[in-house]
Amino acid sequence: MSSTAFTYFMPTRVESGSGISKKTGEMIKELGATRILIVTDQGIRAAHLLEGIEKSLFDANLAYEIYDEVEPNPSAETIRKGTEYLKQYQSDAVLAVGGGSSIDTAKAIAVMAKNAGSILDYEGVGKIPNPPLPIIAIPTTAGTGSEVTNSTVVTNKDTSFKLGVLSTYVFPSLAILDPDLTLQLPQGITAATGMDALTHAIESYTSKAASPVSQAFAMQAIKMIGENLTKAYFVGTDIESRENMLVASMIAGAAFSQSRLGNVHAISHTLGGVFNIAHGIANAALLPFVMKFNLPACQEKYKDIAIALGNDVTGLSTMQAAEKAIDSVIEMNQTMNIPLNIKELGVSMELVPKLVEDAMRSGNVFINPRLTKAEDIQSIIENAYNGHLEESSKAEEIRVLERA
């Protein structure tokens, strides 16, 4: 367990249960809002997932407009347009309905409604001067946990860089978890978002900035994902596994909002920015390779993770038990047809220098459990591209736990 000196702050009210999104209007009304901007994507509208939510807003006598131009890896331009739309309709709260992209876009629009310039001006931690409009988040995937986090991720298309904006102001006021809204998820999205949640939980648990609180959340999320993800994948209509995954994703979000993440996210964000690869798939494909790199620095924690994922480690050494955690992640990827390398995702090795430079710009590198240099990031990317789990000779030189 990490040092007992820590801060825990998570102001988001969470309401969870089957069908609870039909009460969205009355819950938003309690926040004092009267004119709502719904931020979503066209796929959500086409799947008719807004209908019960819209009815609840109508029944609560709340005016609303819909901004449905959210794309994967949302850009600063999409946020600018959404902010103009919000101001045109004089909305006083922002309601996100969708996956992480919709929630991150809604957060950024709520911020820019009350702050000058571009969302790109607020990259980093604690840069936002004014509180945003109230943010309400209804996730339709069990993955990002953005409904309870203090961050939003935005793509700068001019530089192909995904940047993070972190502030206690970015926590949503209300998160509504309705598993009914996830029952239509295609298998591929169930797999990608579920492995995204697992990556959050594993990186949070092993982060140098972890606390007893964040680690308790992360470990519970790992256990729940191990027990429910493949069932949600193969039996998509199973409401219990869907609900458990939605809650696990939220818990993992609550964990990493306190602890940050690690090298998987440092690299996956640059893959998303440069190649527009879906975030969850990038995380899933990278996770075994980063875990292999981190193994010398967190054997005991990986042993904990192996047990949480259902492995019997009786009679095994700590290292052998820790390796079971990596094996479990690989097996989950294989079971759900997730590529076992990033070459299949469309990554080009010609751009490795930019990938390394952008990854090293991430604050997640500095709280990764194993000390990481630029050459280590390059080795991880090369190994992940080729599908080789063995570390490069340079990385193998480090055999003991390193402390930054």
Task: Determine how many CB atoms are found less than 10 A away from the CB of residue 125.
Answer: 15
pLDDT at residue 397 is higher than 50:
no
Burial of 312 (0-12, 13-18, 19+ CB in 10 A): exposed
- pLDDT above 90: residue 236: no
258 within 8 A of 10, measured Cβ to Cβ: yes
Q: For the chain, what percentages of helix, strand and coil (3-state, to nearest 5) are there?
A: 55, 10, 35
What's domain 13-182's architecture?
A: 3-Layer(aba) Sandwich (3.40)
What does the angle CA 380 – CA 386 – CA 388 come to, to the nearest 5 degrees? 65
- What is the pLDDT at residue 84? 96
The model's pLDDT over 112-168, given as tens digits with 9 standing for 90+, comes to: 999 999 999 999 889 999 999 999 999 999 989 999 999 998 988 888 777 889 999
For the whole prediction, is pTM greater than 0.85?
A: yes
Q: What is the pLDDT of residues 10-35, one digit of tens each?
A: 999 999 999 999 999 999 999 999 99
pLDDT in tens, 46-103: 999 999 999 999 999 999 999 999 998 889 999 999 999 999 999 999 999 999 999 9
Q: Which CATH number fits the domain 187-396, given the four candidates 1.20.1090.10, 3.90.1010.10, 3.40.50.1000, 3.40.630.30?
A: 1.20.1090.10
Q: In sequence order, which residues have a C-beta less than 8 Å from that of residue 158 and are 6 or more positions away?
A: none
Domain boundaries, the chain: 13-182, 187-396
The per-residue DSSP string of 311-375 comes to ---TT--HHHHHHHHHHHHHHHHHHTT--SSSGGGT--GGGHHHHHHHHHTSGGGGGSSS---HH
Cβ(76)–Cβ(156) below 8 Å: yes
Task: Examine the pLDDT at 305 and tell me if it is beyond 90.
Answer: yes
Contact indicator for 27, 15 with CB cutoff of 8 Å: yes
Strand 93-98 vs strand 35-39: parallel, antiparallel, or unpaired?
parallel
